Amino acid sequence: MTKAGRSVSIVRRTRRAWRRLGAVGFVTLVGKNLRLYLSGDAKDHAYVYNAQFDRDFDVDTLGVVEIDEMAVSDEAAIGAARYEPIQPEFFAHLVERLPAIEPSDFTFVDVGSGKGRALILAAVAGFRTVIGVEFDGGLHRAALTNIDRVRDQFPDVSFELRHQDARDFTPPEGSIIVMVNNPFDQSVLIPLLMRLEQLGAKQIQPFYLIYGHCLHVDQVIERRCWKLLERSHFQTKRHPYAIFELAVQ
């Protein structure tokens, strides 16, 4: 994005924030962001606008998309979180922390796949079947465009992008790794887990869950059928994660 484009984007986001939050909420947000900047913690969030990945793959996955910018109903938006692209280094770390696996033997699923950055990273990591699930039409279309741009670089990878609510997602059979990078709260997470558990009860193949920025990790632990393999953070405590294995029923 050019400097002029970034300036226009900032103005639009400022106007939307004012309309969404009102005067008091907007001033509170400005104060919060100012404290974040002055504390130096803003550096932990700079990856959202780091264009290196997009330049490397000639795609557009940068930036933030707020809920009120998405083309979804108010009902569908309940529990959802805004879009932010995953940091490539964070993704690589998460995959490395899985038990010793051969990526080509697994289907990789990103629930809340946004513009498709994690799908591309999964292909880079060696996964040969990659599925993205995204409920917002605009993000879904952006992902379709981005994946079309990189298909020739990954001729052995099968990409499947589903425009679908996570609560309606039925995973394929076989060895699976599902990633959720905090795209929603427990009101969506729990129904998703229930659907994953239903599949797990029918098969013996390994089934792993990667939960990035795991704000509701206790909700997963409480279900007991998910074995916690690791719970830690990447670089700073602002990037917590947990990795689970679905216990065979």
Could you give the dihedral angle defined by the CA atoms of residues 63, 92, 55 and 178, in that order, rounded to the nearest 10 degrees?
-60
pLDDT at 68: 78
**How buried is residue 175: exposed, middle or buried, by Cβ count under 10 Å (0-12/13-18/19+)?**
middle
Successive 10-residue mean pLDDT values, the chain, 249 residues: 53 62 63 54 65 95 84 74 91 95 96 97 98 95 97 97 93 93 90 89 86 94 94 92 87
In whole angstroms, give the CA distance from residue 58 to residue 46: 20
pLDDT at 94: 97
Token code pair at residue 145 = 């465009």
pLDDT at 179: 97
Q: Which residue's entry shows tokens 């990189």?
A: 150
* Tens of pLDDT, residues 204-222: 789 999 999 999 999 999 9
* Tens of pLDDT, residues 134-161: 999 999 999 999 999 999 999 999 999 9
